[in-house]
Amino acid sequence: MPAVQTIAVIGAGIMGRGIAHAAALGGYRTILEDLLPNALRKAETEIRSNLDKAVELKKVTAADADSAFKRLEFAGSVEEAARQADLVIEAVPEEMESKIEIFTLLDKICRPTTILASNTSSLSVTEIASVTYRAKRCIGMHFFNPVHKMKLLEVVRALETDEDTLNTAVEVGRRMGKEVVVIKESPGFITSRINAMIGNEAFYMLQEGIASPADIDKALKLGLNHPMGPFELVDLVGLDTRLNILEYLHKSLGEKYRPAPLLVQYVKAGRLGRKSGRGVYEYPETPTTR
């Protein structure tokens, strides 16, 4: 199969922006697309600013940052973004219906050899791939937040994924500067399954009044050497994203993953984390969306 030259990223939220940043820096022509023009404008500003920070920290040369930025394009429709892509990475919200809608459309638009990847944190790539006529060319590429800093990429092999697709995804991941682990599809893969469990337990503790959020975070950082506390992390990830993952794990793996009622209540209240100005903690610098 021909090597990947052009990558389209569908969804320019927290993850899509970071994936586009890493792909452009890895030397790929990168086309980022979102339903919302505002999300694209925000992505462009944030990617430029993160590239500038990387130059200041001497992690990237100014010339490499500028060429990466030049390799970035922004598109207003999935058709425009994906038509010419060799690899499409989908990063729309964690809902099966949205993923299925995008993959159905991508299968119609893209060349037959184009690889369709999902950045899903927990959903079945096999199920997403089943709506296409190219299940062999579908795969999971699970990046971590913030993508331009986090080293790991979980490459998820779905039931029908072929060897060439797997090898290509691993090679692209490495060129994007990631350490890759390859796993057989299973709900929540390695990281989301363990992380969701820890984060959910923290919400049960908070609900039971065992300790304050700051003390629960402090205990995990200083006692267990976690780089971030579970509440700092869920505010970064998004409480809605975490709830979607837990609901899926609960449905597929059983009772021990039942989402803590307090997490459900926070999401209902619009406390989604940093992105909405308030999650477990408050972020006065971000305007609240409600």
Ligand X SMILES: NC(=O)c1ccc[n+]([C@@H]2O[C@H](COP(=O)([O-])OP(=O)(O)OC[C@H]3O[C@@H](n4cnc5c(N)ncnc54)[C@H](O)[C@@H]3O)[C@@H](O)[C@H]2O)c1
Residue closest to ligand X (Cβ): 13
Dist. CA 191–CA 122, nearest whole Å: 9
**Smallest distance from ligand X to CB 38, Å:** 9
Q: Is 194 in the site for ligand X (CB under 6 A)?
A: no
Evaluate whether 6 touches 83 at the Cβ level (below 8 Å).
no
Task: Tell me the C-alpha distance between 35 and 238, whole Å.
Answer: 19
Q: Please pick, from the candidates 89, 92, 139, 169, the single residue that binds ligand X as defined by CB under 6 A.
A: 92
Closest approach of ligand X to the CB of residue 275, in Å: 6
Residues 54-63: contacts with CB under 8 Å, at least 24 apart? 54/148, 60/25
In the complex, the smallest distance separating the C-beta of residue 151 from ligand X, rounded to whole angstroms, is 14
Scanning residues 216 to 275, which ones bind ligand X (CB under 6 A)? 237-238, 241
Among positions 16, 173, 187, 279, the unique one binding ligand X when judged by CB under 6 A: 16
Q: How far apart are CA 283 and CA 135, in angstroms?
A: 42
Min. distance of Cβ 82 from ligand X in angstroms? Answer: 11
Q: Which is nearer to ligand X, 161 or 276 (CB)?
A: 276
Q: Which of 4, 8, 9, 11 binds ligand X (CB under 6 A)?
A: 11
Instruction: Give the burial class of 160: count Cβ atoms within 10 A of its Cβ; 0-12 exposed, 13-18 middle, 19 or more buried.
Output: middle
10 binds ligand X (CB under 6 A): yes
- The CA distance from 82 to 87, in Å, is 8
Beta bridge partners of 8: 31, 88
Q: How far is the CB of 17 from ligand X (least distance, A)?
A: 8
Amino acid, res. 55 = V
Residue 180 tokens, joined: 């890759």
DSSP codes joined into one string, 181-216: EEEE--TTTTHHHHHHHHHHHHHHHHHTTSS-HHHH
One-letter amino acid of 98: S
Nearer to ligand X, 121 or 161 (CB): 121
**Pick from 211, 209, 274: which is nearest to 240 by CA?**
274
Q: Is 93 in the site for ligand X (CB under 6 A)?
A: yes
36 makes contact with ligand X (CB under 6 A): yes
Candidates 139-147, 167-175, 201-209, 257-265 — which segment interacts with ligand X by CB under 6 A? 139-147
Stretch binding ligand X (CB under 6 A), from 13-21, 50-58, 64-72, 174-182: 13-21
Percent helix, strand and coil across the chain, each to the nearest 5: 50, 15, 35
Select from 12, 68, 85, 216 the one that contacts ligand X (CB under 6 A).
12
Q: Does 72 bind ligand X (CB under 6 A)?
A: no
Strand order in the sheet with 72-75: 72-75, 29-33, 6-10, 87-90, 115-118, 138-142, 152-157, 179-184
Residue 14 touches ligand X, criterion: CB under 6 A: yes
Among 39, 106, 202, 280, binds ligand X (CB under 6 A): 39
Q: Shortest Cβ distance from residue 278 to ligand X (Å)?
A: 16
Query: Applying CB under 6 A, which residues contact ligand X?
Result: 10-16, 33-36, 39, 78, 91-94, 98, 102, 119-121, 142-145, 237-238, 241
